[in-house]
Chains A and B, each alone.
Chain A
Amino acid sequence: MNDHELDQLLARANPYGDKTVRQLPAAGAESKLLEDILTTTEPATRLRASRHRRITIGVAAAVAVAAAVAVVGAVLPKDSPVAPFVAPQQAYAAELVAVAEANERILIDDPAWKISRVDEFTKDSGDLAFSNGDKTFQVTWYPAKAYKAYFTDRAHGSVGHSEVQVLGQQGTLFRYAKNTFDFAFMLPSKGPSFVETRADLGSEEAYREVLGKLKKVDVNTWLGAMPESVVKPEKVRAAVDGILAEITVPKGFKTAPLYKETVVARYHLGARVTTAASCAWLDQWTAATKSGDKVKAAEAVKAMQGSKSWKILKDMNAEGDLPEVIWNYADEIAGKIKPESKSGKPADGYKQGLGCK
């Protein structure tokens, strides 16, 4: 279960989502409470000049970690030879094309809706989100064999469902709660995967309108609609080597597992490499501390401190939490901060914390 999936499950489990609370019929009680509080005896306070100030709260919507932004699609270099009979078009890695061909390629036929997030795609699963201003419309591909189980779950978790024709196929529209417009729509599987869409667009009409704009497209159009900055499968090796060249790894560090060729965001690829390196250094530090090998322990402490200047971690720090977690372990084993673990031991639980294998 990745971060995004956990966030989704958490959001669904929220008994009172923001919209539910906003729509509670409590306006009369709200203003009465305000007026009643204002008429209570207030203790003398120091009044300052110009207290009238709009208080804006920078509360981010929902969750903090922006870890997953895997993006697919890449164009030929400008100087690549293109056969004259082939219309100018984007070219993609074979694996990526295979993934695109395996999945039903769906876009929203409205330029206002743009793909804003793409998670790692395989031949039978993937997840992307379209955004239009502050509205989000999510499309998820699940393995076909899971259709029945998901359908049962949605039917159980919703307050009603109806049959709707979309993309020339009959699908099922689920409404999740009476007091929200959180809808999910499932299309029966075709090929290795089935598609589910989900959004709260303020009304059933708005949701159905977007459903009506869904269109199936060819591979190149679909891939061409993806945002830029993806690490293509055939570029994974070079990207991993690039990261390895900038970081320090212990002697005997195994790099083979890092080269797995997938469609992956640079953040995730960075996480793959830096957690492997950090795990290896923390393994060395743990073993050396246990055996009393001060040289090896000091080497690990120095390397982990050095991670604060790894470019990849500095880049990733703007997107997610992993760099801070690594640096925290670095500071714990360097004795710079008090260990957070209950045991009081530095970096205790790092294998679980970093997902070391």
Chain B
Amino acid sequence: MTSTPSPPPPVELRAVPDRELRFRELFDDNFRPLLGYALRRVANPDDAADIVAETMLVAWRRLDDVPVDGTARPYLYGVARRVLANHRRGELRRDKLAEKLRLHLAELTPDVTSLSETSAAIRDGLARLSDSDRELIMLTGWDGLEPREAAVVLGIPGRTVRTRLHRARTRLRKAVGDAFTDDGHVRDDQHARPVQEER
């Protein structure tokens, strides 16, 4: 008499900790926006991989510090801003975590040939602004943040951010003003002049 083989033991389902679930959601919601934030601020697209990896790692390790009141994204941008500063100082190491993403992004070449004259003039104008003016305009104009969220990233009082933004935009207008005709078209033969900081 042969014994019936015993059924395989039931697969033990791994209970996913709440903490992990929360991070997965945070990651899913913010990976692409954070990648965009980083890509817009680095010279080489593959460097953005290290910025994103380091920022997400910080968020995972300090998950309790990540706000749950709807300001997680500006909080992450604030972390990324500090990571980016380290990167600019040459202090950001090439993280093994970012290896695969880096390979993907290394193939990404910004298509500068398709950069129109108007866009070039705007970027020139942005480059002439102070760091704080430029960052405020980029956060609201490119990264899709509201002024109050930009205030969280920059660590400035929410009360003053709209005024600062208004002034920054005025300075950008002035910086690019000479490059445009009255109807908003870029002039052929003029270049934006440096703008004076007037704060």
Interface residues of A (CB under 8 A from B): 1, 3, 5-7, 9-16, 18, 20-22, 24-26, 28-30, 32-34, 36-38, 40, 42-43, 45-48, 50-64, 125, 142-143, 146, 149-150, 153-154, 156-159, 176-178, 321-322, 324-325, 328, 337, 340-343, 348-349, 352-353, 355
Least CB distance from B195 to A in Å reads: 10
* Cα A50 to Cα B17 with chains together (Å): 10
Let me know if B68 and A342 touch, CB within 8 A.
no
Taking CB atoms, residues of chain A closer than 8 Å to B169 are: 3, 6
| Interchain CB contact (< 8 A) of A15 among B40, B104, B176, B177 | B40
Q: Within 8 Å of chain A (Cβ to Cβ): is B44?
A: no
* Cα A42 to Cα B184 with chains together (Å): 53
Q: A38-B23, A156-B117 are in contact. Are A146 and B183 (CB under 8 A)?
A: yes
Taking CB atoms, residues of chain A closer than 8 Å to B165 are: 64, 321
19 pairs, CB–CB < 8 Å, chain A vs chain B: A11-B141, A13-B122, A21-B35, A24-B105, A33-B97, A33-B98, A34-B27, A37-B56, A40-B60, A50-B18, A55-B72, A57-B71, A60-B144, A146-B185, A157-B115, A340-B160, A342-B198, A342-B199, A352-B198
Q: Is the interface of A mostly helix, strand, loop or mixed?
A: loop
Taking CB atoms, residues of chain B closer than 8 Å to A64 are: 140, 146-147, 162, 165
Let me know if B163 and A324 touch, CB within 8 A.
yes
Let me know if A157 and B114 touch, CB within 8 A.
yes
Taking CB atoms, residues of chain B closer than 8 Å to A156 are: 116-117
Q: Is the interface of B mostly helix, strand, loop or mixed?
A: helix
Let me know if A47 and B19 touch, CB within 8 A.
yes
Taking CB atoms, residues of chain A closer than 8 Å to B193 are: none
Taking CB atoms, residues of chain A closer than 8 Å to B49 are: 29
Let me know if B60 and A42 touch, CB within 8 A.
yes
Let me know if B35 and A24 touch, CB within 8 A.
yes
What 0/1 pattern do residues 68 to 90 of B give for CB contact below 8 A with A? 10111100000000000000000
